[in-house]
Structure 1
Amino acid sequence: MLLSMDRVTSYYGKTPILKDFSFGVQQGKCVCVLGRNGVGKTTLMRTIMGLTDRSVGDIAIEGQNINSSPTYLRAKLGIGYVPQGRGILSEFTVRENILLGTFARHDGRSEIPEICLQMFPDLKVSLDRRAGLLSGGQKQQLAIARALAVDPKILLLDEPTEGIQPNIVHEIGETLLTLNRKFGITLLLTEQHIRVARRLGDTFLMVDNGRVVANGPMAELTDGVIHKYLTI
């Protein structure tokens, strides 16, 4: 397994949000994490990055336990992160935002990787533009480009299509498909759009109340499972 969690419980303060959480992501695959709002999907991503108050259990990247490692070391081991809300620095330029990702590279390179410019030509012509002036879709592209600048083995994306107009949702989906299928970057993403999840995912992970309640190949994401865990 490229990334694995074994019986992980993750806390904010004294409150456990993830509970006895176990799963794995194989190299080169795309895993879609599904569930209603507030069930722990974002906490899962933050736990992997070491951004919750405390977690117990085993989190490993290529067999190396990282649960006691600080966030910057997890990034250096090859984890790129696109947080919910994107986390773009509005007063920085597009170029400066992307270059922030290079600080976590294991090889010490500090220039914008070609893959960022290849995947996002709109950003290539806007490198010296202030990031706060970009559209919502362009900001999401920028957040992905910044994570790619880490040179990740696995890319964590928390709601990458949230708050984006429908035609841009399709573009983001195609971008992620290319990163996974052409460039071989492993993906773990939380997603609300079932159609997007089915298009991208090799497997799914359904979360409810901080626990894994269903998982398997995407073909097993039936309408019954969706109705049980996603219908309000």
Structure 2
Amino acid sequence: MLLTFDNVSSYYGATRILRDFSFDMEKGQCLCVLGRNGVGKTTLMRTIMGLTDRSTGAIRINGEAIEAKAPYQRAGYGIGYVPQGRGILADFTVRENILLGTFARKDKASEIPEICLRVFPYLRDNLERRAGLLSGGQKQQLAIARALAVGPQVLLLDEPTEGIQPNIVHEIGEILRMLNKELGISLILTEQHIKVARKLGDAFLMVDNGRVVARGAISEMTDALVEKHMTI
């Protein structure tokens, strides 16, 4: 298995957000994590990266335990992260933002990897543009390019289509499909758009109150299951 969670609980201060959370993920999959707002989806992503206050249980990547590793060390295992809100540094240029992703590369390469610019031609043509001037969709492209600069075997994307115009949602979806199906980069994405999840996903986790309440192949994600765990 590429990634395994075994009875993981994760905390902010004394508050437990993830509760005995277990799943595994095969290499090459696109795993969609679904559920209402506030149920622990973002905390799952931050737990994978080691960004919560503490966690218990076992986290393994390619069979190797990483639960005691610092965030920068986890990135060195080939985990790229696109956080909710994108985390773009507005005063940095496009080039500088992408180069931040290279710091965790095992090969210590300090140039922008070609894949970042091949996938996002707009960024290639605007490397010296200040990132704060980009549109929402362009910032999301930049956030994905920065994560790709890590040289990831798995990309974590927290609400990658949030706040983006419908035509750009389609474009981002096609890019993610290409990264997953053509380049073989595994994806874990949290998503509110059911259509996006069904189009991109191979498998799903449904989360409620910090626990996995359903899982399976994306074809098993029924309308009844969505209504039960995602409608307000």
CA shift for structure 1 position 17 = 0.1
Hey, what does 2:170 align to over in structure 1?
170
Hey, what does 2:138 align to over in structure 1?
138
- d(CA) in 2 for partners of 1:35 and 1:213? 10
Q: Structure 1 regions of 5+ residues with no counterpart? A: none
Q: Structure 2 regions of 5+ residues with no counterpart? A: none
Hey, what does 2:195 align to over in structure 1?
195
- d(CA) in 2 for partners of 1:231 and 1:17? 21
Hey, what does 1:155 align to over in structure 2?
155
Q: TM-score when scaled to structure 2?
A: 1.00
1:78-227 correspondence runs (5 A)? 78-227=78-227
CA shift for structure 1 position 151 = 0.1
**Equivalent AA in structure 2 for residue 37 of structure 1:** N
**Equivalent AA in structure 1 for residue 198 of structure 2:** R
CA shift for structure 1 position 164 = 0.5
Aligned pair count reads: 232
**Equivalent AA in structure 1 for residue 35 of structure 2:** G
CA shift for structure 1 position 148 = 0.1
Structure 2 residue matching 1:197: 3-state secondary structure = helix
Deviations 1:86-142 (A, max 9, x none): 000000000000000000001111100111011000111000000000000000000
**Equivalent AA in structure 1 for residue 119 of structure 2:** M
Hey, what does 2:27 align to over in structure 1?
27
Q: TM-score when scaled to structure 1?
A: 1.00
Hey, what does 1:76 align to over in structure 2?
76
Runs of 4+ in structure 1 over 4 Å off: none
CA shift for structure 1 position 2 = 0.5
CA shift for structure 1 position 25 = 1.1
Hey, what does 1:11 align to over in structure 2?
11
Structure 1 residue matching 2:104: 3-state secondary structure = coil
CA shift for structure 1 position 82 = 0.2
**Equivalent AA in structure 2 for residue 159 of structure 1:** E
Hey, what does 1:61 align to over in structure 2?
61
- d(CA) in 2 for partners of 1:231 and 1:72? 36
Percent identity, please.
72
Deviations 1:130-170 (A, max 9, x none): 00000000000000000000000100000000010111000
**Equivalent AA in structure 1 for residue 53 of structure 2:** D
- d(CA) in 2 for partners of 1:202 and 1:146? 25
Deviations 1:60-101 (A, max 9, x none): 111111101000000001000000000000000000000000
